[in-house]
């Protein structure tokens, strides 16, 4: 059931390879930062969580196969390098029909590059930029047989960069090798291996202390870091995958996808969670009033772990005739198993060990680590069968009906839970004319969650309903698309923090809340306005409240506007200029402290970027990017410690295409 955007009764954004190159969107996080309707909360220098329509995105897919991550053990999924991907697809709203769960935020699908060329071709690039950044990427593909039926592609790269944070450095290595084969006229096979490694030195764990003991807010130079000089965070990803496609009966095709992924990390770090006495510079722990032993102001941790995902998806799609009209249908099944095993070692940090916070410079003795203990060991199995059909009710009117049955089971060392759920889906698309259509859709929400209650039991999955309606247009064979959508999300069993700890644990306890509603409107225009002018413009506005009318996640912006455009000068076609602006409204949250309830906030702000590219020869180009033109200072984490966003920076990239 391959459909163009206009035929999909949901809000969809596709970020092309060209746009990623223009804006230097080099990680998945960069892509989401610049995608309409998505906002970010940075926990520290290495970890970010992304949100849409008021709720966290936890579904990252590669070629349609999902991986779910826990924010507690954020393995850096958003740091995936986009040099390996052809495009990134974002479907906002619940997408349980295709992904197995119905998270109402969004589903992110990274589409890998494949060996599509029957002639030798490639691209080499080198980039140099602020904070000693250097980046080198090679992308080559070639036929491996004389007839071109067997093709290969290699993408490899290396990046080494400091950052605006003191002493912080990251090295990134990535590689992808793919074989694509045409096995006759009706069979194709693709297989490959992907490797990524991110090594970070002197990363922060959490942010900078926000509050003085009198309730005033601290202010820092953005380079300031609480990281000790022995901290590191190393992550490694290994993935193997294959896809087999078989065409039959003229317009039918069967597809088999399978993958095995292993993600490992090893990290040592220190965090500070305390209040500062302005008169002395001494730190006061948030639990100091509880008595002796509770006056710690932070901690050091040695954390390690591995996440494995094995998944297979088999489906067939094709056309059929009924009542004199042509329709399409898809039917399939999938199985995935994800195992998570994490270990850690922990030590508290006390005020007398740190001394005067104003004098702290990162020189803090490394903990005499004991052996690591098991922190988490669980297995999640998901088995699904699904079917969908697109029925042509009349030439301009199409009905999409579908359902997915899911068996979801999680087993831990102490607890197991199994759930069965059927997710229905219905969508109606009406073609107004050759360019315009209107749509409406409904799907149910079924979203397992890894939050636990005060007794340590996992909360039941979130359930609810997702409604959406809108107007779409498609121009010049999808070179330009527009979407105007309205949505309403209703959820029960939504996990909300109690502010208390789970018995016998340092993890926060959550409770289930019914009656949460998010509703809003989105608009996007994306693509080519003319042969020389490309633009993407998106705006979103929503409100999210619980059953008592209180704001849900007020630390997330309710209104965002994102624009990026590029223009090739007709009088000088070698020169392309462009830029963009991302604006969001102010955010806030209330924090309970031993001294009272205080309001943390960040006012509205805009980030402006510029870029230009000059095509020196047919094969060689130079590109310059300037980000955060006005060097705006902003806080990305009002719900916790202060984590500043990226200051102004510049880069120059040379590319050779052959």
What's the pLDDT tens digit per position in 168-205? 999 999 999 999 999 989 999 999 999 999 999 999 99
Residue 320 binned pLDDT confidence (cut-offs 50, 70, 90): very high
For residues 613 and 588, is the Cβ–Cβ distance under 8 A? no
Residue with tokens 């506005």: 541
pLDDT score for 451: 77
CB atoms within 10 A of CB 96: 28
pLDDT score for 60: 81
324-340: b (≥16 Cβ within 10 Å) or e: eeebbbbebebbbebbb
Helix (H, G, I), strand (E, B) or coil at 205: coil
How far is residue 560's CA from residue 584's CA, in Å, rounded to a whole number? 4
pLDDT score for 97: 65
> Of 181, 315, 182, 183, which Cα lies nearest the Cα of 257?
315
CATH of domain 5-657: 2.40.170.20
Strand positions, DSSP E, 78-166 = 85-92, 106-112, 121-129, 133-143, 150-162
Nearby residues of 17 by Cβ (< 8 Å), 6 or more positions away: 85, 86, 87
Nearby residues of 56 by Cβ (< 8 Å), 6 or more positions away: 49, 50, 71, 105
User: What are the residues facing 127 on neighbouring strands?
Assistant: 135, 653
For residues 579 and 610, is the Cβ–Cβ distance under 8 A? yes
Burial of 603 (0-12, 13-18, 19+ CB in 10 A): exposed
How does DSSP assign 28-80, residue by residue?
HHHHHHTSTTEEEEESSSS-EEEEETTEE--EEEETTEEEE--GGG---GGG-
pLDDT score for 70: 62
Rg value, the chain, Cα: 25
Residue 206 corresponds to which tokens in the numbers above?
């959490």
What mean pLDDT is predicted for residues 18-28? 95
Nearby residues of 340 by Cβ (< 8 Å), 6 or more positions away: 70, 73, 305, 306, 307, 376, 377, 378, 379, 380
Nearby residues of 613 by Cβ (< 8 Å), 6 or more positions away: 22, 575, 576, 621, 622, 623, 624
> Of 584, 579, 564, 565, which Cα lies nearest the Cα of 632?
584
User: What are the residues facing 132 on neighbouring strands?
Assistant: none
Residue 2 binned pLDDT confidence (cut-offs 50, 70, 90): low
How far is residue 232's CA from residue 266's CA, in Å, rounded to a whole number? 8
Residue 377 binned pLDDT confidence (cut-offs 50, 70, 90): very high
How far is residue 368's CA from residue 362's CA, in Å, rounded to a whole number? 17
How far is residue 544's CA from residue 26's CA, in Å, rounded to a whole number? 31
Residue with tokens 């959490």: 206
Task: Identify how many contiguous H helices and E strands the chain contains and give both numbers.
Answer: 4, 36
Residue 645 has pLDDT above 70, yes or no: yes
pLDDT score for 505: 56
Average per-residue pLDDT in the chain? 91
Residues 388-435 have pLDDT tens digits of 999 999 999 999 999 999 898 988 887 788 888 888 999 999 999 999
Q: Dihedrals φ, ψ of 256, to 5°? A: -120, 120
How far is residue 377's CA from residue 175's CA, in Å, rounded to a whole number? 30
Query: Rounded to the nearest 5 degrees, what angle is found at the Cα of 55, between the Cα atoms of 54 and 60?
Result: 135
Burial of 132 (0-12, 13-18, 19+ CB in 10 A): exposed
What mean pLDDT is predicted for residues 105-109? 88
Residue 264 has pLDDT above 70, yes or no: yes
For residues 176 and 192, is the Cβ–Cβ distance under 8 A? yes
Helix (H, G, I), strand (E, B) or coil at 401: strand
pLDDT score for 416: 82
Q: What percent of the chain has pLDDT over 90?
A: 73
Please indicate whether residue 478 or residue 83 has the higher confidence score (pLDDT): 83
Residues 61-105 have pLDDT tens digits of 888 877 666 666 667 777 889 999 999 999 998 876 666 566 788
Locate all alpha helices (DSSP H) within 461-519, ordered by sequence.
none
> Of 136, 261, 140, which Cα lies nearest the Cα of 194?
261
pLDDT score for 72: 64
Residue 506 has pLDDT above 60, yes or no: no
Residue 349 has pLDDT above 90, yes or no: yes
pLDDT score for 199: 96
User: What are the residues facing 495 on neighbouring strands?
Assistant: 512
Q: Sign of dihedral through CA atoms 422, 98, 378, 493?
A: negative
How far is residue 29's CA from residue 20's CA, in Å, rounded to a whole number? 12
> Of 480, 465, 478, which Cα lies nearest the Cα of 517?
465
Sequence ranges of the domains in the chain = 5-657
pLDDT score for 504: 55
pLDDT score for 101: 60
pLDDT score for 647: 98
CA torsion angle for 266, 270, 271, 276 (degrees, to 10)?
Answer: -170
Residue 319 has pLDDT above 80, yes or no: yes
Helix (H, G, I), strand (E, B) or coil at 88: strand
How far is residue 386's CA from residue 401's CA, in Å, rounded to a whole number? 11
């Amino acid at each position: 059931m391959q459909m163009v955007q206009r035929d999909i009764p949901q809000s969809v954004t596709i970020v092309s390879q060209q746009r990623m190159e223009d804006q230097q969107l080099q990680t998945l996080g960069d892509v989401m930062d610049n995608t309409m309707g998505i906002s970010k909360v940075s926990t520290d220098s290495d970890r970010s969580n992304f949100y849409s329509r008021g709720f966290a995105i936890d579904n990252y897919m590669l070629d349609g196969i999902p991986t779910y991550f826990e924010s507690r053990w954020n393995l850096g999924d958003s740091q995936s390098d986009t040099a390996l991907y052809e495009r990134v697809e974002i479907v906002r709203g619940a997408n349980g029909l295709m992904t197995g769960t119905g998270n109402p935020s969004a589903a992110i699908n990274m589409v890998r590059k494949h060996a599509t060329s029957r002639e030798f071709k490639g691209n080499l690039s080198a980039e140099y930029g602020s904070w000693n950044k250097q980046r080198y990427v090679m992308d080559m593909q070639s036929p491996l047989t004389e007839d071109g039926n067997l093709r290969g592609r290699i993408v490899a790269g290396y990046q080494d960069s400091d950052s605006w944070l003191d002493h912080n450095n990251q090295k990134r290595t990535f590689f992808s090798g793919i074989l694509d084969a045409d096995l006759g006229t009706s069979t194709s096979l693709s297989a490959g291996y992907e490797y990524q490694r991110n090594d970070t030195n002197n990363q922060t764990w959490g942010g900078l202390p926000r509050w003085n003991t009198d309730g005033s807010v601290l202010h820092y130079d953005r380079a300031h870091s609480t990281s000790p000089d022995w901290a590191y965070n190393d992550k490694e990803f290994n993935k193997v995958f294959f896809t087999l496609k078989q065409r039959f009966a003229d317009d039918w095709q069967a597809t088999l996808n399978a993958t095995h992924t292993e993600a490992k990390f090893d990290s040592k770090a220190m965090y500070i969670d305390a209040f500062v006495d302005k008169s002395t510079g001494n730190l006061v722990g948030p639990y100091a009033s509880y008595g002796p032993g509770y006056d710690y102001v932070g901690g050091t941790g040695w954390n390690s772990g591995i996440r494995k995902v094995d998944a297979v998806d088999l489906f067939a799609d094709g056309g059929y005739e009924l009542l004199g009209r042509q329709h399409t249908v898809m039917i399939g099944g999938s199985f995935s198993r994800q195992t998570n095993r994490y270990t850690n070692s922990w030590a508290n940090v006390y005020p007398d060990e740190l001394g005067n916070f104003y004098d702290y410079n990162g020189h803090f003795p490394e903990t005499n680590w004991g052996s690591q203990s098991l922190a988490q060991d669980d297995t999640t199995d998901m088995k699904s069968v699904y079917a969908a059909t697109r029925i042509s009710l009349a030439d301009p009117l199409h009905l999409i009906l579908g359902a997915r049955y899911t068996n979801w089971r999680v087993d831990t060392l102490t607890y197991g839970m199994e759930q069965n759920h059927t997710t229905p889906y219905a969508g109606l698309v009406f073609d107004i004319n050759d360019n315009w259509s209107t749509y409406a859709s409904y799907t149910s929400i079924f979203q397992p969650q890894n939050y636990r209650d005060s007794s340590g039991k996992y909360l039941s999955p979130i359930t609810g309903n997702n409604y959406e309606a809108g107007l779409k247009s498609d121009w010049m064979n999808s070179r330009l698309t527009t979407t105007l959508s309205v949505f309403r999300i209703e959820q029960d069993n939504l996990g909300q923090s109690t502010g208390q700890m789970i018995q016998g644990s340092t993890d926060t306890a959550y409770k289930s809340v019914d009656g949460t509603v998010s509703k809003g409107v989105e608009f996007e225009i994306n693509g080519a306005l003319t042969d020389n002018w490309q633009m993407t413009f998106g705006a979103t506005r929503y409100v999210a409240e619980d059953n008592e009318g209180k704001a849900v996640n007020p630390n997330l912006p309710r209104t965002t506007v994102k624009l990026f455009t590029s223009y090739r000068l007709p009088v000088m076609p070698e020169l392309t200029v462009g830029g963009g602006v991302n604006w969001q409204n102010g955010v806030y949250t209330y924090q309970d402290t031993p001294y009272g309830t205080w309001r943390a906030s960040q006012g509205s702000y805009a980030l402006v970027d510029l870029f230009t590219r000059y095509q020196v020869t047919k094969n060689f180009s130079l590109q310059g990017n300037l980000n955060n033109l006005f060097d705006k200072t902003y806080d990305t984490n009002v719900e916790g410690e202060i984590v500043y966003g990226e200051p102004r920076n510049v880069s120059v990239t040379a590319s050779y295409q052959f």
